Structure 1
Amino acid sequence: MMTANDTRSSLDSLVSGFADPVHDAQACFRVLLEALARPGTAYSIDVELDDDAQRRWPAAAFAAMLTLVDFSTPVWLQQHDESLAQAIRFHTGAPLTDEPEAASFAYIADAASLPAPDTFSLGTPEEPQGSATLLIRVDALEGGRPLTLSGPGIRSSVRVGPVGIADMFWHARAALSAQAPCGLDCYLVCGRSVVGIPRTTRVELN
């Protein structure tokens, strides 16, 4: 049974959320929306976050979760992280799930061991919005395997080079194109930077 001391200790260790929840969430949402509208372009999420949060997780990933998830969107964490789970529950009310296929949002802390795309919910033709959104932490957004992106929101093509994501993930993702409009929306996050790769974007390995 949890005691009053346990509760105080838990709250003392809780990582703070946005300094100004309404303003910061709105600012972050605009950036995240623009990132999906302009795939392959790096954007910066410049809202104020606790120093402890930024030491633990990419600021862009934590801010995105504070902005996008709520009580109706289960979250899957690739790696066990009680501090992050506690912060998500407290600040957003979102439930945590142990089943990736049940998640509306997934945080991938280790891109090298990113599960196959079909591990997650792809939505249905009737409700494609029921698919999962992946927040993938990468060590850098350039310097890795060159990828050429094309499709809606991109004039001709754009190249990115995220570090750490295995080729097989992109091959498996390409195989899902036949299931459109089902699919996955992805955000690559590194520090405060975020790059959107929506399901409508074609990704070719160079």
Structure 2
Amino acid sequence: MLTVAPPDLEEARSNATFEALMWSMARPGEQRELAEPGLAPIIEAFLDLECTAYADDAELAGLIARTGAERAEAPADADHVFLAQLDGLAELEALNCGSALYPDDGATLVVAAAIGQGQRLRLSGPGIEGKREISLGLPAAFWALRQKRCAYPQGFELFVVDGRAVIGIPRSTQVEIL
């Protein structure tokens, strides 16, 4: 009989983080709880040797290096973009949104921002029964940029992280600014 070793603490934490992220994408705008606060556990759960990643923070860049993922010099060159703070939108103008043939090549953007305060939004689309209203601490200009850049099926996946709370917004979700 084959015996499978139980996961160690680090593996269990990474699995719990990954599960929270997947559920947040399956139910856009619905808040989930991460195993640990911040962007670091997401880096550990998402990245491996086959990924390219960009981070705007030296500490996060160090975590990326430890995963073995290739570090991108600009967000446009990355599969995964981690922003500890959204300072401006210029660097997101060239964020990879995939192509008509390969829309899944679009980047995943993970940004730290307030959940429950800030810009009021109405979400609709797959995974949302009717419509869902939320508030996120991202400026209206960010949502305008997303709308301009994301012609479904192309676009980028978005995770907003506030401590241990995370909200996912896939490229298929329509976002209306209220």
Q: Residue 128 of structure 1: CA displacement?
A: 1.6
Contact residue 60 and residue 194 of structure 1 kept, 8 A:
no
The correspondence of residues 82-161 of structure 1 with structure 2, limited to 5 A, is 83-90=59-66, 92-115=67-90, 117-138=92-113, 140-161=114-135
Residues of 1 paired with 2:150 and 2:119: CA distance? 21
* Structure 1 match to 2:149: 176
Contact residue 147 and residue 203 of structure 1 kept, 8 A:
yes
Q: Per-residue CA shift, 1:1-26, capped at 9, x if unaligned?
A: xxxxxxxxxxxxxxxxxx72322222
TM-score under structure 1 length normalisation: 0.77
Q: Identify which of 6, 15, 22 aligns with 1:26.
A: 15
Matched to 1:197, the amino acid is I
**Is the radius of gyration larger for structure 1 or structure 2?**
1
Is residue 2:41 matched to residue 1:63? yes
Gaps of 5+ in 1: 1-18, 48-58
Q: Per-residue CA shift, 1:106-155, capped at 9, x if unaligned?
A: 111222424465421111222222111000111x2012110111111001
Matched to 2:72, the amino acid is T
Q: Residue 168 of structure 1: CA displacement?
A: 1.4
Q: Per-residue CA shift, 1:175-197, capped at 9, x if unaligned?
A: 2343x211000000010110001
Matched to 2:73, the amino acid is D
Matched to 1:69, the amino acid is L
* Structure 1 match to 2:3: none
Q: Per-residue CA shift, 1:36-60, capped at 9, x if unaligned?
A: 000001110125xxxxxxxxxxx24
Residues of 2 paired with 1:102 and 1:39: CA distance? 26
Gaps of 5+ in 2: 1-7
Q: Which has the higher helix share?
A: 1
Matched to 2:168, the amino acid is G
Matched to 1:44, the amino acid is E
* Structure 1 match to 2:171: 199
Contact residue 54 and residue 75 of structure 2 kept, 8 A:
yes
Q: In structure 2, do the counterparts of structure 1 residues 34 and 113 end up closer, same or farther at CA, with 3 Å as the change threshold?
A: same
Q: In structure 2, do the counterparts of structure 1 residues 72 and 20 end up closer, same or farther at CA, with 3 Å as the change threshold?
A: same
Identity rate of aligned residues, in percent? 29
> How much is the aligned-residue C-alpha RMSD, in angstroms?
1.7
Q: Per-residue CA shift, 1:51-107, capped at 9, x if unaligned?
A: xxxxxxxx242111100111111111134x1x32222212x1112111211101111
TM-score under structure 2 length normalisation: 0.88
Q: Identify which of 21, 25, 48 aligns with 1:36.
A: 25
